[in-house]
């Protein structure tokens, strides 16, 4: 396994939930799952300005650089820039690009882009929701420009409005999001299915608070996997936020680390070997991050680390029925 982990200089304001310890906790999951000896750790390169501008407005890229060089400051009530954020954010996007290159060059079977800040809320022209640049989108756009068909599956508890915004009218990329609704940022309706040139390439599965693993598994089996199969992707990027875990302080879902392992196993079979990148998004309870990262990566390399039992329940079943009807699966 290949893990690209950045040098974290994105220093958080006091009390902010998106803080440097998140990355440490996630990386500890590799050791907890007894995968350290099978993992090659590397410092990712910086994404170039040109690579960022594949998906972001040049004015946004320049604004983040300028604010960082001035010592940092707030973008909005949730999102901040520190003096080291320009370098760290470029390295976070570079981690996804390096992960892709490691897979292409057969240096690993599975790649993990372990970095912060997260990215899936960053739109083409706006940083928001803790996110500066959209790391997964930078990687997906690079692949699409090489002629690949890319499926992005975002199981973060929050809807990835930025990823949807960037690829909404791009038929080369399928975006799938399972997320709690209602919740920040208020986007991700079921009927948001893609632009005029990319109809039915944007699958949202908004689920109510309290949804557990059985309903997620049914949603994957009956909706997500058939939609991915119909799209026929050559690559899969998982926007792996772990804030739908039952211990997370920012949401109200009821997943466990074993549930994430189940999701990962299901998704892996949808693309050829050595074509899965896992990119860290949200997750704000350190123990949940450690266990969930470890369980996810363990499942993808064929191991069995599961520190918790899978969860079960029936909350959210009507959402699956509605999605099946809309998507004809």
Q: Cβ(313)–Cβ(248) under 8 Å?
A: no
The candidate with the shortest Cα–Cα distance to 80, out of 96, 67, 90, is 67
Pairing of β 173-180 and β 150-154? parallel
Residue 80 C-beta-side C-alpha neighbours within 13 Å: 19
Q: At what angle do helices 21-32 and 286-300 cross, to 10 degrees?
A: 40
Q: Cβ(234)–Cβ(185) under 8 Å?
A: no
Centre a 10 Å sphere on the Cβ of residue 105 and count the other Cβ atoms it contains.
10
Q: Cβ(319)–Cβ(47) under 8 Å?
A: no
Of 10, 56, 121, 245, the active-site residue reads: 121
Cα distance from N-terminal residue to C-terminal residue, the chain: 34
Centre a 10 Å sphere on the Cβ of residue 265 and count the other Cβ atoms it contains.
14
User: Known catalytic residue: 56?
Assistant: no
How far is CA 64 from each of CA 76, 118, 131, 271, rounded to the nearest angstrom?
13, 15, 11, 35
**Residues designated catalytic:** 121
């Amino acid at each position: 396994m290949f893990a690209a982990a950045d040098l974290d200089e994105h220093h958080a304001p006091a009390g902010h939930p998106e803080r440097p310890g998140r990355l440490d906790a996630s990386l500890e999951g590799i050791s907890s799952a007894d995968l350290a000896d099978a993992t090659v750790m590397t410092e990712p390169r910086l994404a170039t300005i040109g690579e960022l501008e594949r998906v972001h407005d040049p004015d946004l890229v320049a604004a983040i650089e300028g604010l960082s060089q001035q010592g940092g400051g707030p973008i909005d009530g949730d999102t901040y820039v520190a003096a080291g954020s320009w370098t760290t954010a470029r390295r976070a996007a570079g981690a996804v690009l390096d992960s892709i290159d490691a897979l292409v060059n057969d240096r690993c079977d599975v790649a993990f882009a372990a970095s912060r800040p997260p990215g899936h809320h960053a739109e083409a022209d706006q940083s928001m929701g803790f996110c500066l640049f959209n790391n997964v989108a930078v990687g997906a756009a690079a692949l699409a420009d090489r002629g690949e068909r890319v499926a992005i599956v975002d199981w973060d508890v929050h809807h990835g409005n930025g990823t949807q915004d960037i690829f909404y009218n791009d038929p080369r990329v399928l975006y799938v999001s399972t997320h709690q609704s209602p919740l920040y940022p208020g986007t991700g309706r079921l009927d948001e299915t893609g632009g005029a040139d990319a109809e039915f390439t944007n699958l949202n599965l908004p689920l109510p608070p309290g949804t557990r693993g059985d309903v997620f598994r049914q949603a994957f089996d009956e909706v997500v996997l058939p939609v991915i199969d119909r799209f026929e992707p050559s690559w899969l990027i998982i926007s792996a936020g772990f804030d739908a875990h039952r211990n997370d302080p920012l949401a109200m879902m009821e997943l466990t680390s074993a549930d994430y392992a189940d999701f990962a196993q299901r998704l892996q079979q949808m693309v050829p070997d050595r074509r899965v990148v896992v990119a860290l998004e949200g997750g704000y309870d350190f123990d949940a991050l450690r266990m969930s990262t470890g369980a996810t990566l363990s499942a993808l390399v064929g191991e069995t680390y599961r520190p918790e039992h899978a969860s079960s329940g029936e909350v959210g079943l009507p959402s699956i029925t509605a999605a099946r009807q809309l998507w004809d699966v």
